[in-house]
Structure 1
């Protein structure tokens, strides 16, 4: 699943984590200001970013682009020296490009969140005064469109590139399994493992991986903002006054949802795995029946289909209560961000701009902490596919 596409997966992914932490440590321990040694303006790292599209080519952003490029090149050269995997240009450079695009979309979210405050405060002033300058509304709307244009462009490029990335990963897995086909051909459902599961595994891994990286980068970008905005909301409902109230509220609610769905969905991965097994057995008997008259007898097919029905009915039952819990959590989640602000609203501590900014930042951080909540059904499917491919590959290990 991994060694066909990534160079020495165990050490590769460990080195990714170490390299990421090192870069993060250097950046936040003064690295963001090192651009001054290369001619960047003094104080550029602490300068207030404009609430417009021009922030994306400000000195702060240009230095980050350069840092990311150099860091990626160093990492890629190391693995080019260490390994000779034929797909590592895609797995190393391609993964870095995807991470950069995710970072860019997160920065667009930060820019739009910063845009909320002046825009909604301006609307509040216009409503309070009974009117205002129409041209200002058009100008602020145009600012939003310029920022959103970057998000749209990056999103289209990301979708196109990741489609090719996924297909390359699937190709690498398929080539690996075909190379060892003589040892694998007698495994139950071998053709399905090679044709369908490789495609689904690569697609789901890409989806989950992108969302996971996005969740991490969103936390890095928005969590400091949430710490500072917590000063505007000193009290929480029921709990009362708490330091860093919004941070604790986001973490607590996300952990509650994650633990709840893990408990109610614990049986689903095994049932999904069994579901593919009984389907494969039924399909295999039908395929044999096309060539041999003594196969696919009605009694045999009836028994195999009963196994399918039994497993599906179990799956429907367990998904029923899982969906009840998941949907109730989702509905309460809509209200939660406003519920947290009720005491501050009642005390008159917030303006319309601040309400929108805090809600936006709070929702971003909360959604990042809820990565497992939002992805649990997909994770269940991935665990099932991985379990099948792992059993498939165990033949080669033997």
Structure 2
């Protein structure tokens, strides 16, 4: 694979016709096609299974509440103490599952990050005849490899697990809501399973508001990361050049002014109202 094609899979050198989701899929699928694909697929299945166990635990606790309060209402001491032991067992299992999924996410993300880092370092340093050409396409490629890959791997796995858990919870608890909610009259219309439809409406409304508020934060975050990378690059260059003899004060003043100008362009909260 050529140098440009490797970096284009990350999204910066791709053609304008390629959609965001296609470029993201190309970047994510690299690891699942590599020599570590067996570990990647096994980890994906393991995290999916652990997420399903989290949903099962939530359903078990929901069912436990029903029997527990029934035992209190009926003054059934035997059922009460038995359900206390059941609750302790559920909590212990939930703690074990949480520790296991946290550990596995960290291991998976670290190995994915290590592979992606080696992949792009090889593309930039080893296989490229002109590394400076990449710097014209990607700003601060060294810091993007160090910082962006770290955030990409950990946050992608975290978001994927959260999305899978949420979808499984929606399906599971929708069945519960439909079963316990009756009909309701609204403006002369009978709405069956009104609690289910109310939950759907609430979720869609919250998603719409969050998308409207948070969409502009994406570009602000990108601008902030770019400015911070430029600042770190300047500080490294300043430290290196300060050790050399004959560096002029005028040159350093010029560099300092350029950094101040870059910092003044950092995104602010005022951009949210734009």
TM-score normalised according to structure 2 size: 0.76
Q: For residues 263-305 of structure 1, what are the alpha-carbon distances to aligned partners after superposition, in whole Å with 9 as ceiling and x for unaligned?
A: 1223211111111112222222222222333597234323423
Offset of 1:238 from its aligned partner?
Answer: 8.3
Q: Secondary structure at the match of 1:5?
A: helix
Q: CA RMSD in A?
A: 2.5
Seen in structure 2, the aligned counterparts of structure 1 residues 135 and 237 have a Cα distance that, compared at 3 Å, is farther
The more displaced of 216-225 and 176-185 is: 176-185
1:170/1:199 contact within 8 Å kept: yes
Structure 1 segment 111-122 matched on structure 2, within 5 A: 111-122=60-71
Offset of 1:317 from its aligned partner?
Answer: 3.7
Seen in structure 2, the aligned counterparts of structure 1 residues 145 and 194 have a Cα distance that, compared at 3 Å, is same
2:31 aligns with: 5
Q: Give the distance between the partners of 2:38 and 2:185, measured in 1 at CA.
A: 50
Pick the aligned partner of 2:94 from 142, 151, 156.
151
1:289/1:296 contact within 8 Å kept: no
Q: Give the distance between the partners of 1:169 and 1:281, measured in 2 at CA.
A: 26
Structure 1 segment 223-372 matched on structure 2, within 5 A: 223-231=174-182, 234-235=183-184, 241-292=190-241, 293=247, 297-312=252-267, 314=268, 316-317=269-270
Seen in structure 2, the aligned counterparts of structure 1 residues 178 and 107 have a Cα distance that, compared at 3 Å, is same
Seen in structure 2, the aligned counterparts of structure 1 residues 148 and 170 have a Cα distance that, compared at 3 Å, is same
1:109 aligns with: 58
Higher RCO (CA-CA < 8 Å; seq separation 6+): 1
How many residue pairs get matched? 233
2:155 aligns with: 204
Pick the aligned partner of 1:191 from 142, 165, 182.
142
Q: Give the distance between the partners of 1:296 and 1:244, measured in 2 at CA.
A: 72
The more displaced of 177-186 and 160-169 is: 177-186
Seen in structure 2, the aligned counterparts of structure 1 residues 138 and 311 have a Cα distance that, compared at 3 Å, is same
Please list every run of at least 4 consecutive aligned residues from structure 1 whose deviation after the TM superposition is greater than 4 angstroms: 236-241
Offset of 1:310 from its aligned partner?
Answer: 3.5
1:170/1:202 contact within 8 Å kept: yes
2:109 aligns with: 166
2:71/2:77 contact within 8 Å kept: no
Q: Give the distance between the partners of 2:101 and 2:117, measured in 1 at CA.
A: 24
Pick the aligned partner of 1:176 from 107, 119, 124.
119
Offset of 1:134 from its aligned partner?
Answer: 4.3
Q: Give the distance between the partners of 1:297 and 1:237, measured in 2 at CA.
A: 72
Q: Give the distance between the partners of 1:137 and 1:168, measured in 2 at CA.
A: 47
Q: Secondary structure at the match of 1:89?
A: helix
Q: Secondary structure at the match of 2:192?
A: coil
Q: Give the distance between the partners of 1:103 and 1:239, measured in 2 at CA.
A: 40
Q: Give the distance between the partners of 1:307 and 1:218, measured in 2 at CA.
A: 46
Seen in structure 2, the aligned counterparts of structure 1 residues 253 and 239 have a Cα distance that, compared at 3 Å, is farther
Seen in structure 2, the aligned counterparts of structure 1 residues 296 and 3 have a Cα distance that, compared at 3 Å, is farther
1:235/1:241 contact within 8 Å kept: yes
